Structure 1
Amino acid sequence: VGGYVHDAFGWRAVFFVLAGAGTLFVALMIAGVPETNRRRDPTALRPGQMGRNVAVLLTDRSYVAYVLVNALMFGGQFAFISGSSFVLIGVLGVSPSVFGLCFGSVALGIMTGTFLSGRFGARLGLDRTIFSGTALGAAAGLTLAGLAWGGILTVAAVIAPMFVFATGLGLTLPNGIAGAVGPFPHMAGLAAAVAGFCQMTGSALYSVAVGHFYDGTARPMTIAIAMAGVAALVCFWRLRWEGRAAC
């Protein structure tokens, strides 16, 4: 949609569409999503209590594992988000509307992973589903980087591995959030907020790094995505599975 809006009305129109959609979603949330917390903690927002609660979260090995994996996988996705326009439009010469279709096909990968997570997650369990997602992310990232560094740079060589990476992300994200927040029902909001903060901070750092090291080729973007997938897989294995085996 963004590509077609850009072609028809210019890049500024994209932000008007985003503002309108955001306003609509907020209105729908206020009108249709009821408050579910029936046992509110009146001290939860006091700075001292909040700091102690955050410390509890960040000293829990399992929580850190789930949050770190989500942050790394999401960072890999944001490396693509921040670098793909330069690679696909600037290097490969596709039009903004075609870029939108390419971008949408990667988003379809996230939807595919989320669907598969809902379909098979209960059977596999949280940890096995996350392991599957990070393994897909690592394999796809390494394939993407290998193709780029080997001089094979086409639209298909970028989008096909990214579709697989995004599928791994779709498998990982919902289970990572569930694994992080589930053990802390008494402060689920804070647990989700800290996880979201770490996720977006990691993504921002990846975006800055890709922009800083951009050299007119796809190599910085692809190596960042590969590093994210491999790091997520290794971190989950070391922090979650090995830690659980040691308990």
Structure 2
Amino acid sequence: MRNVKLTIEYLGTNYYGWQILPGKPTVAGKITEVVEKILNHPVKLTGASRTDAGVHALGQVANFKTEKDIPLYKIQLALNGLLPPDIKIVNVEEVPLDFDARRSAQGKRYRYRVFNRKVPSPFEYKRAWFLPYELDFDAMEEAKKYLIGTYDFTSFSKADKRKQVNPVRTVNAIEILKKGDVVEFVFFGKSFLRHMVRVMTAVLVEVGKGRLRPEDVEFIREKRDRTFAPFLAPPDGLYLEKVYYGDYPY
């Protein structure tokens, strides 16, 4: 038995997220379909992160098991030859049998891109959140301090009625970067609640616009109530950038 690890890039615009959904195009569904075609047997594809509809990835990780002895480079060539142009496998490697893309992960890095000028760009369409407003970076830097640490992030997540989820998460670091017309919010943490990165980004943007004060972020956090943060950044600007295994910096 072999355990094969994939590192994947994709544009999520045309998909209903990562997780397989019957009758709907998803990233995991498309990759599973192609892997099974190559190996000629069913596989269980485990992904490190269940990205939402429209969210992109530069470093999604997944694994599957097989008894076939096809060389790894041939698996990668076949996958990239059969997958659509918006999903590509950038690396294939064999890993120990106990490796699990989700459970073995030590941390994740998400990057949210905001295109910040008065006129939108066709090259950033569905790749970033267009915001034509001036942003106060000092205020956002002050506000992010209330999001770093271990807290109950109920106010910053979408409730999942299907199961009980522990709302306590640890955000190890947040970076706010200005690169020309692009503002990037970079989040480091072991795991995040559903919509958590997008809500945190939207709240920081509200601070940057002057509609919230930095200290309001602490108030929202402590309320542990989603209605106090009725903001959600669109999925277009969010990228799962890296999943860490043994090299997490925090």
Name the TM tier (shorter chain).
under 0.3
> TM-score normalized by structure 1?
0.25
Structure with the bigger percentage of strand: 2
Structure with the bigger percentage of helix: 1
